Structure 1
Amino acid sequence: MDAADPRRIEITAPPSRAGERIDRTLAAALPELSRSRLKALIEAGCLTSDGETIAEASYRVKAGQVFVLDVPPPAPARPQAQAMDLAVVYEDEAVIVVDKPAGLVVHPAPGNPDRTLVNALIAHCGDSLLGIGGERRPGIVHRLDKDTSGLLVAAKTETAHAELVRQFSAREIERVYKAVVWGVPAPTQGELSGNIGRSPHNRKKMAVLAHGGRPAVTRYKVERALANGNAALVGCRLLTGRTHQIRVHLAEAGHPLIGDPLYGRAHGKRLRQLGKRARDAVRAFDRQALHAATLGFRHPVTGAPCRFESRLPTDLARLIEALSNTP
């Protein structure tokens, strides 16, 4: 084991470990890290072998195989309150619904230790929020990617947190997103499915996997064809909530989100077919074109139905308008 850099550890599997699960092999080599911690690091894409990401804790090792584990520095156990402007859509004693802008990270993590939505919620709701559902992600029951805008609900009590988590797990939450994609999906409405897990080739990406991963289902409907069929506005309804689910499913179907830096592919031909104004708008759009437009759930205390809608943010509305008028 090479621990010269405490954040990067190299482990060579001895012959006695051949055929063993990788999480067991790592646990034996690194007793200072719990097995649950090691599993979380593996699933987060922090383990590689010969340049390939190992994303499954059940992966079987080979004698003499060399693994590299990147261990990020621990995040502070308790996020601090940091006052920020919040677009509060609804709030009571149990829940708060906010309209998150693109560019805002939901909770602290390596690389984003503060200035997150969690820090802002603590400042807004007070210290009573601390510890709800866990110290590091107080109040959080679901997430949006940093550059995805739109509606998010957080819990303000343990009771509300437990009930909202149950509703998410039982697929009782209504979540509808607006996406602008390359091309027009055919058929114009349907269902995209496939297990999603960490990409074996790029630990920063998720992928549809033939083996492993977790089941994921996205229902979609084309709302408008744009730019003479070179793009489309698509409504996506989540039946599950996997990391990057809509982005992965649409990219796998050949219709990646415009502006997606991780899953978007070069669409030079379609871009050249756009008019100058639309072409300039696409080039200037600096995030994935995805917005959480509708959020519905039953109130975790009263049981009353709650449903909220968010208008398209200015940047996305301008992109759609430019693609609607291609000259």
Structure 2
Amino acid sequence: MQPLTEHQAQPIDIIFEDEHLLILNKPSGLLSVPGKTEPFCLTAQALRYNANSRVVHRLDMSTSGLMIFAKNHISQKAMGQCFEKRLVKKTYDAVIHHAPSQHEGVIERPLICDWPNRPKQKVCFETGKAATTHYRVIRTLAHLQASVVRLTPVTGRSHQLRVHCLALGCPILGDQLYNLQGSHLRAPRLMLHAAQLHFEHPITAQPLHISKPSQFCRIPLTAV
């Protein structure tokens, strides 16, 4: 019998559950859905817990944080419509290289797949799809030449937050795909965490405000 991997040995972290929805905290480094060569993922863990678990949305493998599963077809379809209509507000915490020139602002850069270098995405004003992210600096880590920022995407393009931070000249620390001046070497993981979800329950109409703070304060960073 093969020994369990680090993620396989960890129990699922349930943040919210009712008869319709299951919201889990995904660790960094774990796939959201099965990969071509790696079947183990958060979806597999959700299915072990509840055989009716259905994927509603995804997080990048390197991103940690809140991920929603539906527990039946009706709630899956209803949540899918919520995402399509942009009724789900998602907030991410990140630690970025240096600091942006402004304390808060809006990043509007159209994105498209960088096919020769996929899965990377790139900014393209000619053929890219519109992408908008609001950002706000929460804390400046001057001694580390880094900043903690809160990111709120309006759209949901692939790698949107990672590319938009790079476009600011402040890539997310630990990002192996999008980096600048050795920023990918400054943290042992991608410092991006899906920290908050705000939406109206698609079945009960109950306002839901789900949060799971990041554990970034426990992760050692390297100064420039």
User: TM-score, structure 1 length as denominator?
Assistant: 0.62
Equivalence for 1:86? 12
Equivalence for 1:172? 87
Equivalence for 2:68? 153
Matched-pair contact (CA < 8 Å) for 2:162–2:172: yes
Render the CA deviation track for 1:60-100: whole Å, top value 9, x for unaligned.
xxxxxxxxxxxxxxxxxxxxxx8961000111111000111
Query: Which residue identity lines up with residue 14 of structure 2 in the other structure?
Result: V
- Of 160, 167, 170, 1:245 maps to 160
Number of matched pairs = 216
Render the CA deviation track for 1:174-205: whole Å, top value 9, x for unaligned.
11111100111121101011221111441220
Following superposition, which runs of at least 4 residues in structure 1 exceed 3 angstroms of deviation?
Answer: none
Summarize the alignment of residues 24-103 of structure 1 with structure 2, pairs less than 5 Å apart: 85-103=11-29
More helix by share: 1
* RMSD between aligned residues: 2.1
**Within the alignment, does 1:199 sit opposite 2:131 as a pair?**
no
Matched-pair contact (CA < 8 Å) for 1:84–1:120: no
Matched-pair contact (CA < 8 Å) for 1:83–1:120: no
Equivalence for 1:140? 55
Larger radius of gyration: 1
Equivalence for 1:40? none
Summarize the alignment of residues 8-23 of structure 1 with structure 2, pairs less than 5 Å apart: none
**Within the alignment, does 1:108 sit opposite 2:23 as a pair?**
no
Q: Displacement of 1:210 after TM fit?
A: 2.0
- Find the residue that maps to 1:220 and give its secondary structure: strand
Matched-pair contact (CA < 8 Å) for 1:184–1:225: yes
- Once residues 140 and 150 of structure 1 are traced to their aligned partners in structure 2, the CA distance between those partners, rounded to angstroms, is 15
Matched-pair contact (CA < 8 Å) for 2:173–2:186: no
- Once residues 161 and 92 of structure 2 are traced to their aligned partners in structure 1, the CA distance between those partners, rounded to angstroms, is 9
Matched-pair contact (CA < 8 Å) for 1:83–1:119: no
Summarize the alignment of residues 222-301 of structure 1 with structure 2, pairs less than 5 Å apart: 222-228=137-143, 230-267=145-182, 283=185, 285-301=187-203
- Of 133, 154, 168, 1:218 maps to 133
- Once residues 230 and 86 of structure 1 are traced to their aligned partners in structure 2, the CA distance between those partners, rounded to angstroms, is 34
- Using a 3 Å threshold, how does the CA distance of structure 1 residues 191 and 254 change in structure 2: closer, same or farther? same
Q: Answer 1 or 2: higher relative contact order, Cα 8 Å, separation at least 6.
A: 2
Query: Which residue identity lines up with residue 202 of structure 1 in the other structure?
Result: N
Q: Displacement of 1:285 after TM fit?
A: 2.5
Query: Which residue identity lines up with residue 42 of structure 2 in the other structure?
Result: L
Query: Which residue identity lines up with residue 11 of structure 2 in the other structure?
Result: D
- Using a 3 Å threshold, how does the CA distance of structure 1 residues 247 and 254 change in structure 2: closer, same or farther? same
Q: Displacement of 1:166 after TM fit?
A: 1.1
